Each structure stands twice: as C-alpha cells, then as structure tokens.
Chain A
C-alpha cells in the first residue's frame, strides 16, 4: 500500500522549454501533495505544498510563475517547470499524504531533470 509514482523518471530538455512532471498516488487518495528538490548529497528542500482543489503554497524563494503546480484530483499533482534553464537541473521528488492521523508522507521515485 501507499505507493506514489512519478513520470517521467528522467527528462532532458533544451533551455527555454517547459517540462511537466506528474505525481500520482496509486492506491490512496492524497489530500495533500508536496514537491521537493534535492541537490547532490544534500537533503530534501521543500518547494511547495498543494491541497486538492486549492492553489499551491510556495516556500520562500521559490518562484510560483516558474514552478507551476496543479493538484486537480485526489490522486494527481503536476509540476511544470516553465522556461527551464540549466540551473533548474535537479532531482525533483513528490510526496503524498493521505488524510489520516499518521501525517506520514509517501514519496515518489523522483524525476531527474537535465536542462541543456
């Protein structure tokens, strides 16, 4: 149980293009989803929190117009990196939280983005 998938697992794009990453909870309904970014040998950095049907809440320093987050259903959230640049290259990981008393976040496998 509590499986989260991400697609694609890796993507290479040209500078200036946009990339969409999907995050799905496969066997539970996720009232809240989180998007993280991770640099090599560093811990996870929270980018934004999204609740189904609501606008995402972005962490300080994260550009909401660059990182568009949509949480249209209880099993799907998407992160779109708009006008990507090489400095956006990173490992992006989503997590999903079921509305229970455990507060546990279940993580997806991550998406490696490389911007040329």
Chain B
C-alpha cells in the first residue's frame, strides 16, 4: 500500500534560520511527487512537481529534492510569511489519478 509520511509534524524557526522538511514515501512505482503550501482556511498552493531521483527544483527561498525514498523541502533564510503547512503528495503508476497525501508539516517562522 502506498504511504507518505512527513517530518517533523511541526517546526518553529527564527527568521533567517534555514532548515529542511522531510517527506518519505513508499510506492510501487513513482509517477510524481508534489509539494504544496497551505495557509489556514485556504486551499493548497502548488509549489513543485518532481519526477525522478536526483531532480531538484527551486523557487525563491524553497528548494525541493528527490531520492528514491524521500523528498526534502529546504527553506533558506525563511521569513515570517513562509509560515504555513507544507503538504507532500505522491502519485503512483498503480494508483490511477489519485494523490496520496502526507499529514503535512506546520511551519512557523518567528520574526
């Protein structure tokens, strides 16, 4: 059965303190791994799609990387506006069109 876990569950950082969020997955065949950001009371906002091990993507202070078992979302010099829940989702070749979501990491960046 496809599974996605995320760690830590919650993370508090000082502004400017870089860190990484982890998304570990088990899937019979990875079709894609997706990162989203969700603010309270809003829908998830798309960040990145990764397809193969070794792939990296960047957007402003965020960088996503992918291995065969996990993905990292690196946050460099975060700002308070980066505070949100970060969701990871996996799409497997054997799972039709449906994403398997992780539980999310709640990030708080303190000024």
With known contacts A93-B44, A103-B32, A104-B34, A44–B87 Cβ distance under 8 A: yes
Q: Contact check: which of B32, B34, B41, B87 meets A43 at CB < 8 Å?
A: B87
Bound CA span A95–B96, Å: 16
Bound CA span A106–B46, Å: 6
State which size class the interface on B falls in: 20 to 34
Interface of A is mostly: strand
With both chains docked as a complex, state the minimum distance between the C-beta of B51 and any C-beta of chain A, in angstroms.
9
B45 to A107, Cβ gap below 8 A? yes
State which size class the interface on A falls in: 20 to 34
Q: Interface readout for B86-108 with A: 1 if CB under 8 Å, 0 if not?
A: 01010100001111011110000
With known contacts A43-B87, A46-B98, A97-B97, A112–B41 Cβ distance under 8 A: yes
The interface residues of chain A lying within 8 Å CB-to-CB of B31 are 103
With both chains docked as a complex, state the minimum distance between the C-beta of A44 and any C-beta of chain B, in angstroms.
5
A49 to B98, Cβ gap below 8 A? yes
Bound CA span A112–B46, Å: 20
With known contacts A107-B36, A109-B43, A43–B97 Cβ distance under 8 A: no
The interface residues of chain A lying within 8 Å CB-to-CB of B32 are 102-104
The interface residues of chain A lying within 8 Å CB-to-CB of B98 are 34, 46, 49
A32 to B99, Cβ gap below 8 A? no
With known contacts A43-B102, A43-B103, A44-B101, A107–B91 Cβ distance under 8 A: no
Q: Does A13 contact B (CB under 8 A)?
A: no
Q: Does A105 contact B (CB under 8 A)?
A: yes
Interface residues of B (CB under 8 A from A): 31-32, 34, 36, 41-46, 49, 87, 89, 91, 96-99, 101-104
Interface residues of A (CB under 8 A from B): 2, 4, 6, 32, 34, 42-44, 46, 49, 91, 93, 95, 97, 102-110, 112
